Amino acid sequence: MPYKRITLTHFLLQEQRRLKSSGVFTSLMNDILTACKMVSHEVNRGALVGNHGVAGSENIQGEEQKKLDVLANDIFIHMNSQCGTYAAMASEELEEVQAVTGTHEGRYLLLFDPLDGSSNIDVNISVGSIFSILRVPEGVDPSSQDAFLQPGVKQVAAGYALYGSSTMLVLTTGNGVHGFTLDRDVGMFFLTHPHMTIPADTTEYAINGSRARHWEAPIKRYVDECNAGKEGPRGKDFNMRWVASMVAEVHRILVRGGVFMYPADAENMKKGGKLRLMYEANPMAFIVEQAGGLASTGRQRLMEVAPSALHQRVPVILGSRNEVERIVAYHAEHD
Ligand code: AHM
Ligand code: MG
């Protein structure tokens, strides 16, 4: 009975009652989901309203911004500034932390990548938004970068919106992972994927294979062994996928298992890798661990990396537990 499903707002209120919390968190989550619905709407209207193409600017990372990168960032900043529950926000698209002046003292910090995988916009392939919520630490100016430099284990909540063949919002508050699908006619997210779990084993991996010549030995060994198939040391055939949208890759892994790798390699090593720790890797690591998977740099649990900069990059290996453990073991054997 579709009408018997619960909405994301119901879910948040049930969590609020269970945790006997004040409702502040529920209201800030409502702002995020409104922002995600608005971004979803803009992604869907696409070329009809001129939303494709480049904005003609670069972000702090020196990357060309797409029109939708800029629009999604503006939507996130505006919607999440309104109820005053955040003290400050940080975005992939903004160099500096943005303080929020609200009606009362904000106790939370919001980090986000407003439109991840934006190289896929113009070719109409899935993109997403990623967010991470931290508490304002005691005695630290919330609008300083220092307030944000907390390891992933300190996250209060994390999630992503996937703008795919349907729009979904996947969320963890540290009590499992739950997926909600947007009903466009009703304008609400409904719980469709309660308690998402990642199978421990998989025969599917995701990596940008065009970078193989730059890989370190443990990654090369892992991929070579997968590609050797039934005749190789793994004794089974593997499948490979690469969407170039981390949100879509993580979602596939949550639904049917798999392993995703964006390692540091000889070419990106100086920067520390490609993906950003604070608003890409950490929220995805929290979600993956809450779903029973693992997330590592290859040498350390991802969520224990002590950040030193807001836009810091990090190697990312996440997904099905037994595969991530194997890749971590290959790194240990090699080092
Ligand atoms: P973005 O935030 O600039 O979109 O970059 C992050 C994206 C990830 O979604 C994806 O996993 C990766 O970059 C794709 O990289 P590549 O271009 O090497 O395929
Ligand atoms: Mg990104």
Q: What is the ipTM of this complex?
A: 0.96
Q: Look at residue 57 in the predicted model and tell me its pLDDT.
A: 79
- The string of pLDDT tens digits covering residues 151-160 is 999 999 999 9
The answer to whether 159 is a known ligand-binding residue is: no
- The string of pLDDT tens digits covering residues 280-318 is 999 999 999 999 999 999 999 999 999 999 999 999 999
Cβ neighbours, 10 Å, residue 130? 28
Report the predicted TM-score, pTM, of the whole model to 2 decimal places: 0.96
Evaluated on CA atoms 212, 218, 223, 224, the torsion sign reads: positive
Q: Are 145 and 121 in contact (CB under 8 A)?
A: no
User: Pick from 170, 165, 234: which is nearest to 197 by CA?
Assistant: 170
Q: Look at residue 100 in the predicted model and tell me its pLDDT.
A: 87
Q: From CA 245, how far away is CA 137, in angstroms rounded?
A: 32
Q: How much distance in Å is there from the Cα of 116 to the middle of ligand 2?
A: 4
Q: Are 182 and 294 in contact (CB under 8 A)?
A: no
Q: Look at residue 1 in the predicted model and tell me its pLDDT.
A: 63
Name residue, tokens 């992972």.
177
Give mean pLDDT, residues 50-55: 83
Q: Are 69 and 55 in contact (CB under 8 A)?
A: yes
Which residue's alpha carbon is at the smallest distance from atom 18 of ligand 1? 208
Query: Which helix (H) or strand (E) is 77 found in, with range?
Result: helix 67-81
Q: From CA 327, how far away is CA 320, in angstroms rounded?
A: 11
Which residue's alpha carbon is at the smallest distance from atom 12 of ligand 1? 244
Q: Which residues are found with C-beta within 5 Å of the ion, ligand 2?
A: 113, 116
Q: Look at residue 63 in the predicted model and tell me its pLDDT.
A: 78
Q: Given a cut of 70, is residue 121 above it in pLDDT?
A: yes
Q: Diameter of the chain by CA atoms?
A: 65
Q: Given a cut of 70, is residue 190 above it in pLDDT?
A: yes
- The string of pLDDT tens digits covering residues 81-117 is 887 788 899 999 999 999 887 655 788 999 999 999 9
The answer to whether 59 is a known ligand-binding residue is: no
Give mean pLDDT, residues 187-196: 97
Does ligand 1 have an atom closer than 6 angstroms to the CB of 129? Answer: no
